[in-house]
Chains A and B, each alone.
Chain A
Amino acid sequence: MYRIRFHGRGGQGMKTASRILGKAFFLEGYEVQDAPRYGAERRGAPMFAYVRASKEQINERGIIRHPGLVVVADESLIAVPAAGVMQALRSDSILLINSMEKTKLWQDRLNFKGRIIALTQSPSGKGWDEMRFIGAICAGGAARLAGVIQETTLTLAINEELAHLGSDVVQTNLEMALTAFNELKNDTGIVKEGKPVRADDYRPPSWIELSWEDPKLSAPAIHAAATSEKLITGQWRTMRPVIDYSRCNRCWWLCSTFCPDGAIHLDKERYPQIDYNHCKGCLICLAQCPPHAVSAVAEPVAEAQKREGE
């Protein structure tokens, strides 16, 4: 059975990716399950979707464990433990990462024995804008790596799954998906079907007896303030607002008031400072700044600039 997980953020089209791939497998004569899994249904929040495909009837249910392929639409998620990108990978799992970084860099960074492929080349040269089509790109890449889906089938699946968005949208998505599909030609079929867990050779679950604990601890209550600041929602950001302090006129702190996330504070000199750990990149500050002192920089570019600066 093929077991494939797509990791992305709410709004990036991972559900669409799983449906395109699911439909493509289905059209190739496979039994299929595809499903999205949300935590809090929020644009920007980590989520995943998955596809199972098999020539046999599928009795498995629920989230995919031991995936043959994990597709990561948003590389920033790899560092987010709650996103579970690296969860239960097999040694022969394939990791396909949409990233400007080289494969080698990911191999060094992640302690992972399996094969890593970085979709480093932007398929159409349009760069970061492609995040709008990343669902289709991921589906196209996954279809190639699975190796049992023909180009015509992929095309048909995209046409069917995206029909409600209109023909222009379908066409662009199709181009993107096929670019990824073709780019990975040399790795056709490297994803292997996974075997079921053997009933005579398995690691028993480490079941324990839960014992009574004091309700101070065991009730769903938080005895602390502003713990949400431990969550790095800055990782949601695709565009980074950057303040040009030569233009900032220390106005009436509009950016700081309007920032929904309270991620802009004033420093001692009353200049606004953006808390990039928590700025989600909505860019209200950019839109509202009277002297236009805020500009938007694509995250990977901003990161690269930051590294150069160091």
Chain B
Amino acid sequence: MKRELLTGNRAAALGALLARVDYLPAFPITPQTEIIETIGAWIEDGKMDCRMVTMESEHSMITAAGAAAVTGVRVFSATSSQGLLYGTEMLYTVAGWRAPFVLVNVSRGLSAPITLEPDHNDIMAVRDCGFLQVHCATCQEVLDSMIMAYRLAEDEKVRLPVIVNFDGFYLSFTREPVEVPTPDAVDSFLPPFDPGSIRFRANEPLSEGVAVLGGAAYSYFRYEAHLASEQGIEVFEKIAAEFSDCFGRSYGVLETYKSEDAEFTFVMIGSFATKAKDAVDRLRDVGWSIGLVRPRLLRPFPKEAIAKALKNKKGVAVIDQNLAAGLGGVLYTELSSVLYNQKGAPDVLLSFIGGLGGRDITPEDFYQIAAVTRKAVEDGETPPPRLLYSEEELLEVRKLQSVARAARQTRGGGK
């Protein structure tokens, strides 16, 4: 095992290489493109034995990925943002086929307005499609999650596609030291894909993805896919234990950081969670009892683990890098649904929304989130959701608006 400097994109590509992926239907989109370019170059150099086909859209890409997986080969694909949404019809469809493969989503904010910068609205928009979701905080975790994701998707208890999600820019284009396992070690951890009887072969007639009529059959199939997804918790824990034995790195369905004995806890997903860890350390330096809980699996949602990790906390601050229009933060509502009716649920659960479209979340933001949370506990009153947004930022936008408006007036004024 050696350490290398790798971007998140390259770590994902390396994960596909080590997983001995057979097939890659692809479509370029920022900030994911480096993944398919990297694999394309490896294929041309003879370093990787994989067939890569550039499709004409993500909708077709997901279709081809699912179709190849149900034919019985190991499939990888990658997308981001608009691409993920363009393929959404097929995300639901191929999950319904029970097509096991791994899709990387490099998170990026959604249009309109169009942006290239990261947030989590893309991945949250597909949270209910049937794909399992593994969320990464570091480039190391991207590589390791890729390898574990194939075990998870192909496990006979699950047999569903998996999305490995990581943040655009902050991980996709950022190099970090990554321990790269040897191909032999990965081979012994991840055996070749066995599609079982769900595959297209001569003399084995199979009609796949067929229509159903009637609520009884439809409810059954959809609910079975849900039950298979829920199996993902136990299967993930089993796979992670084996992974730890093989490679020495341990992953739970949650990452908890100094939260066991803490009175207060941050909850968030993705790469900015490492910033929250820093904030935890700095706050602890000045006497706070605070920690971090980061769901690594978002689907299936690790309900029991979350309830246990947050039991008897005084205050919990949920930081959402997404915005469900007309509702607020998605992670916050999911946490609320898990904690309600739980004995020992936190006294207060606060919602903070930040990091939209690449907006930074600063150490000061984290400290203030902690302070607001403590005040809510002291007052016994939960404040409304808070957008992390400063006077300076609004001022900046006002300047842009004045230009936008002035330009229109110049044309319309008929000078």
Q: Which of B198, B204, B224 has a CB less than 8 Å from the CB of A212?
A: B224
Question: What does the 1/0 interface line of B201-232 toward A look like (CB < 8 Å)?
Answer: 00011111110111001001101110110110
A–B complex contacts, Cβ < 8 Å, 27 sampled: A39-B214, A40-B213, A210-B220, A210-B223, A210-B224, A210-B227, A212-B224, A212-B228, A212-B230, A212-B231, A213-B227, A215-B156, A215-B196, A216-B197, A216-B198, A218-B221, A218-B224, A219-B198, A220-B208, A220-B210, A220-B221, A221-B97, A221-B98, A221-B198, A221-B208, A222-B207, A224-B205
A237 to chain B, nearest CB (A): 21
Instruction: Check if B157 is an interface residue, CB within 8 A of chain A.
Output: yes
| Residue numbers in A under 8 Å from B156 (CB-CB) | 214-215
Interface residues contributed by chain A, number (CB under 8 Å):
17
Q: How large is the interface on B (under 10, 10 to 19, 20 to 34, 35 or more residues)?
A: 20 to 34
Instruction: Give A210 to B231 CA distance when docked, in angstroms.
Output: 13
Instruction: Check if B270 is an interface residue, CB within 8 A of chain A.
Output: no
Question: What does the 1/0 interface line of B381-395 toward A look like (CB < 8 Å)?
Answer: 000000000000000
Instruction: Give A211 to B226 CA distance when docked, in angstroms.
Output: 10
> Of residues 200 to 215 in A, which have CB atoms within 8 Å of B's CB atoms?
210-215
B210 touching A221, Cβ below 8 Å: yes
B206 touching A222, Cβ below 8 Å: yes
Closest residue of chain B to A212 (Cβ to Cβ) is: B227
A215 touching B159, Cβ below 8 Å: yes
Instruction: Check if A225 is an interface residue, CB within 8 A of chain B.
Output: yes
Instruction: Check if B66 is an interface residue, CB within 8 A of chain A.
Output: no
| Residue numbers in A under 8 Å from B223 (CB-CB) | 210
Instruction: Check if A223 is an interface residue, CB within 8 A of chain B.
Output: yes
A180 to chain B, nearest CB (A): 31
Instruction: Check if B96 is an interface residue, CB within 8 A of chain A.
Output: yes
B206 touching A221, Cβ below 8 Å: yes
Q: Which of B97, B227, B231 has a CB less than 8 Å from the CB of A219?
A: B97
Instruction: Give A213 to B213 CA distance when docked, in angstroms.
Output: 21
Given A40-B213, A219-B221, A223-B206, 10 more A-B residue pairs with CB atoms under 8 Å apart are: A210-B220, A210-B224, A215-B156, A215-B224, A218-B220, A218-B225, A219-B98, A219-B198, A219-B208, A221-B206
Instruction: Give A219 to B214 CA distance when docked, in angstroms.
Output: 16
Instruction: Give A211 to B212 CA distance when docked, in angstroms.
Output: 20
- Given A215-B198, A216-B198, do A221 and B207 touch, yes or no (CB 8 Å)? yes
| Residue numbers in A under 8 Å from B220 (CB-CB) | 210, 218
B226 to chain A, nearest CB (A): 9
- Given A212-B157, A223-B205, A224-B205, do A218 and B213 touch, yes or no (CB 8 Å)? no
